[in-house]
Amino acid sequence: MAAPSESVGRPPAAIDLPRSQPRLIFFLLMSTLVECVPNFSEGRDKAKVDAIVDAMKVPGVFLLDREMDADHNRCVITLVGEREAIQEAAIRGWARPRKSSIDQASGSASADGAADVVPFIPIRWRDH
């Protein structure tokens, strides 16, 4: 698990987050929050999943969990952040496998790493 950032101000890009982070809790409670739980058809190749997670690193987005299931060849990534930042992270995560898995000769894309579902769950809504 990566160490949380010690800087004050704008939150760091997606990080592994301990559940006892008071500054983060305060930031999240004062924001419009959305959880995003994209599922990808890759659960065996850690490097591919790492590439997807890296693509989803956007300021204001926090990585809460990532699970790989080799038996079903699936991974689930759980992110939380403000709605605009989460949207950008989801688009980047969805696009990452598409960019890396296109067969240049045939122009077709393999299913490895493809985003199967990208649900968004509103957590807290703040009127602006």
Is residue 127 over pLDDT 90?
no
This prediction has a pTM of 0.65
Any residues with CB less than 8 A from the CB of 124 and at least 6 apart, and which? 28, 29, 31, 32, 33
Nearest 5°: CA angle at 75, between 72 and 79?
155
Q: pLDDT tens-digit profile of 47-92?
A: 999 999 999 999 999 999 999 999 999 999 999 998 899 999 999 9
Task: Please state, in angstroms and as integers, the Cα–Cα distance from residue 122 to each residue in 61, 82, 85, 87, 109, following that order.
Answer: 14, 10, 13, 12, 32
Q: pLDDT exceeding 90 applies to what percent of the chain?
A: 46
CA distance 112 to 97: 7
- Is the pLDDT score of 101 beyond 50? no
Which sequence spans correspond to the domains of the chain?
22-124
Alpha carbons 88 and 81: distance in angstroms, whole number: 11
How does residue 108 score in pLDDT terms, banded at 50, 70 and 90?
very low
Q: Which fold has domain 22-124?
A: Formiminotransferase-cyclodeaminase; Chain B, domain 1 (3.30.990)
Check residues 99 and 1 and name the one with the higher pLDDT. Answer: 99
Mind listing the pLDDT tens digit for each residue in 3-62? 443 333 344 444 455 555 555 555 555 568 899 999 999 999 999 999 999 999 999 999
Neighbour count for residue 69 (Cβ, 10 Å):
13
